[in-house]
């Protein structure tokens, strides 16, 4: 035979509702505090990600490609201290468009139309298709982060590059 299932439930009284409301109030306050702290930490992260290390000439927004290259040729360690990991804007003529030695999309620049390459600007991998827009001899304005100096090729290596303007 089946036994009936009995469910015993107490009926809340006025006095038993108060602890529940107090507990809910505390949970809501804690949740609100957590959201506020999360918002503050996200705001701090957003400000810390903003580029702070822009290097520009006093009279112009862009830096001379020749000036940057000569600084590395003259004294590489001093130039790395001054420009290393800093965001620069350089203007130059395209001498090569395509993959670099590691297969990454890159644009090489010179200060003259048919001059020697002075800078290797490496773009993000997702920008491979954008390389088709540029060709040898065009004048470009590129922004990127100075990483190193490649002595063998006598080139300043600029990573995280993006083309700002096609002249």
50-104 pLDDT per residue, tens: 455 444 444 345 789 999 999 999 999 999 999 999 999 999 999 999 999 999 9
Q: How far is 111 from 47, CA to CA, in rounded Å?
A: 35
54-166 topology per CATH: OB fold (Dihydrolipoamide Acetyltransferase, E2P) (2.40.50)
Give domain limits for the chain.
Answer: 15-50, 54-166
7-21, 22-36, 116-130: which range is least confident on average? 7-21
Query: Per the structure block, which two tokens stand in for 159?
Result: 């990573």
Burial of 90 (0-12, 13-18, 19+ CB in 10 A): buried
The answer to whether residues 117 and 80 touch, using CB atoms and an 8 Å cutoff, is: no
Whole-number pLDDT of residue 30:
78
Its sign, for the CA torsion 16, 22, 27, 31, is positive
Q: What is the pTM of this model?
A: 0.64
CA distance 142 to 165: 7
């Amino acid at each position: 035979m089946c036994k009936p299932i009995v469910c015993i439930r107490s009926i809340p009284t006025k006095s038993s509702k108060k602890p529940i409301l107090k507990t809910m109030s505390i949970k809501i306050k804690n949740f609100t505090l957590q959201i506020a702290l999360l918002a503050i930490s996200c705001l701090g992260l957003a400000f810390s990600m903003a580029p702070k290390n822009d290097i520009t000439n006093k009279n112009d927004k862009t830096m001379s490609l020749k000036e940057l290259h000569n600084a590395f040729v003259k004294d590489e360690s001093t130039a790395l201290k001054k420009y290393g990991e800093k965001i620069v804007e350089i203007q130059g003529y395209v001498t090569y468009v395509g993959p670099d030695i590691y297969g990454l999309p890159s644009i090489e620049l010179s200060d003259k139309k048919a001059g020697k390459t002075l800078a290797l600007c490496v773009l993000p991998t997702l920008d491979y298709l954008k390389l088709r827009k540029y060709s040898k001899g065009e004048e470009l304005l590129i922004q990127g982060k100075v990483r190193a100096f490649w002595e063998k090729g006598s080139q300043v290596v600029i990573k995280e590059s993006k083309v700002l303007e096609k002249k």
